[in-house]
Amino acid sequence: MKQPIRSIALAALGALALFVTACQSGSGGGAVLPGASEAEPVMVRRPVGEYELGSGDRLRVKVFNEEDLSGEYQVTGSGLISMPLIGDIRVAGRTISELEDAVEAELRDGYLRSPQVSAEVLNFRPYYILGEVRNPAEYPYQEGLTVMNAIATAGGFSYRANQKVVVIKTADSNEEMRIELRPDTPVLPGDTIRVLERFF
């Protein structure tokens, strides 16, 4: 009777070793916080590049020495603004410097010899916060906004909230990112922030 028992014990130890090895190799070395599955690793820091303009932004575009061509514009749902002479020009997905270059190129094409254009954002598109906060809603964006500021604006966490991880979807993506919640985690215009429910 001892031999079968010993064989069963060795088989169990072998299976345990394989399980531990699989878990270690499946993690990929990434940090996974409590409540996050191996399939959904948490990004420790959110990557943020130069701001790309989008629908809902309000802009001021100035053409040097051409007051009639300068003005304020709301980016439409189609991502366009309409300027004198050149008509519709695509804004969505461009940075401020790219928009300036595009307007200059359009004006140079048969209108002005050496146009000089400057642009700035007057009002950013709003952000949205959902889930386990007291007042989920749409809120106006301000430069330098962090997720913690956004949560405070929404009345703070509910008692069920996961206070370690949030989910963020940018305005130009359908993908949600699970982000470790830090005091400096940034919010971008048009973001949708979802505060998760914690597991009791």
3-state secondary structure of 34: coil
User: Which secondary-structure segment (H or E) carries 10?
Assistant: helix 2-27
Look at the pTM and tell me if it is higher than 0.85: no
Q: Which two tokens stand for residue 47?
A: 């990557």
Can you give the pLDDT at residue 195?
A: 96
CA-closest candidate to residue 193, choices 129, 126, 125: 129
If one counts every other C-beta atom within 10 angstroms of the C-beta of residue 161, the result is 19
3-state secondary structure of 165: strand
Residue-wise pLDDT for 77-113, tens only, equals 999 999 999 999 999 999 999 999 999 999 999 899 9
CA-closest candidate to residue 148, choices 191, 183, 98, 192: 183
Domains of the chain: 58-123 (3.30.1950.10), 127-197 (3.10.560.10)
How far is residue 141's CA from residue 124's CA, in Å, rounded to a whole number? Answer: 6
Can you give the pLDDT at residue 93?
A: 92
Residue 173 or 57, more confident: 57
Residue-wise pLDDT for 21-32, tens only, equals 444 433 333 333
